[in-house]
Amino acid sequence: MRPIVEYSDFRSYMRDFYEERKRCSAFSWREFSKITGFSSPSYMKVVCDGKSKLSRIGVERTGLAMGLAGFEMDYFRAMVEFGQAETEEKKKAAYESMLAIAKVHKVRVLEGDLFKYYDSWCNPVIRELAPIMPGATPGELAKMCYPEVSAVEVREALDFLTKAGLLKKESGNFVQSEASVRGTPDATRLALRGMHRQMSKLATPALELPKEERDFSGVTMGISRETYERIVKEINDFRHKIISIAAEDKNIEQVYRLNLQLFPLTKNVKENKDEQV
C-alpha cells in the first residue's frame, strides 16, 4: 500500500486499506465498520462509495482503526476535510495543509535501488547517522557504529545513498531527501528478507549493552490462526505509531533498530493430527 502522503482522496486510501487487509486476512466491510465503531455493517463501504460522509468523530475512529498516528493522522484529517469541504476556501486550506505535511514527511519509493539499499545494514544506519553528525568523516561515522564497520564501507554507503537520491548535501553536510524509504509491497517483502537476517544477528551482541540502552522482551504462547491474525494487525498498528513518533523527533541523538518478530516454534497441532489419521 502506498504511503498516505501520496493520496489526495481519503476514500481511495480507505479502499486501498480495505483491499490490503482483505488480501492478507479474512477482512470484510462488516469487520471494517465494526472496528471503526459504526453499527451499520456496510457503513465503511457506503463512505468509500461516496454515498455518505465521515463526521469528526468518524474521522478519528476510522484513522485509529487503520492504525494512523502522528503526522499520518494529521494528514488523514486534512484529506477528509479536503474531500468533504463545501466551500472553495475550506477546500484550499485543507489542501495546503496536506501539501505542508507531505513536504515534511514525504516517503521515497525505491525500485531499482531497493535491493542494493537493503543488501547491507550499513546503508539504512548511515542514512540516519550522517545527518546528525555534520561534517563527520567516513572514519568518524564508522567509529560510531555497532558493530564495527570500516571507513571504506561507510564511504561506499555514502556514495550509494547520494547517487540513489536518499541523501543529499546542503552547505557541505548530509541531509535526508525524504523522511522514509519504501518500495512496492512485493519487492519490499523480498528485499527485506536479507535485511531482517542481518538485523536479527545484530540483536544478539546488543544484549551485552547496558540495560538502560536496550530493551529486550518476549512471550511464548499457544494461539489459533484467528488470534495470530489479530496479533499481526496489532503489530502493524503499533509499528505505524512508532514510525510516526520517530518522524516527529527533531532532536535525534542516536540510531536505533526495532525488531518486531512473531514466528512459530512448533508445527500446527491440528494439521499434523489430520496428517497422522
Sort strands 173-176 and 180-182 into parallel, antiparallel or unpaired.
Answer: unpaired
User: What was the pLDDT predicted at 110?
Assistant: 66
Residue where the block lists cell 493520496? 7
**How many domains does the chain contain in total?**
2
Mean pLDDT in residue range 92-98? 90
User: What was the pLDDT predicted at 119?
Assistant: 86
**Most confident by average pLDDT, 148-157, 191-200, 234-243:** 148-157
- Entry pTM: 0.65
Question: Domain of 80?
Answer: 4-106
Same domain, 83 and 15: yes
Last residue of a domain, one of 190, 208, 226: 208
| Residue 46 belongs to some domain of the structure | yes
Mean pLDDT, the chain, rounded, equals 89
Q: List, in sequence order, the alpha helices (H) in the chain.
A: 10-24, 29-35, 43-48, 56-65, 70-84, 88-104, 114-117, 122-129, 138-143, 151-163, 185-206, 225-247, 269-276
| pLDDT one-digit tens code per residue, 22-75 | 887 889 999 999 999 999 999 999 999 999 999 999 999 999 999 998 899 999
User: What was the pLDDT predicted at 111?
Assistant: 62
Can you tell me the distance from the alpha carbon of 57 to that of 8, in angstroms, rounded to the nearest whole number? 20
Same domain, 139 and 125: yes
Q: Is residue 109 predicted with pLDDT exceeding 80? A: no
Q: Is residue 82 predicted with pLDDT exceeding 70? A: yes
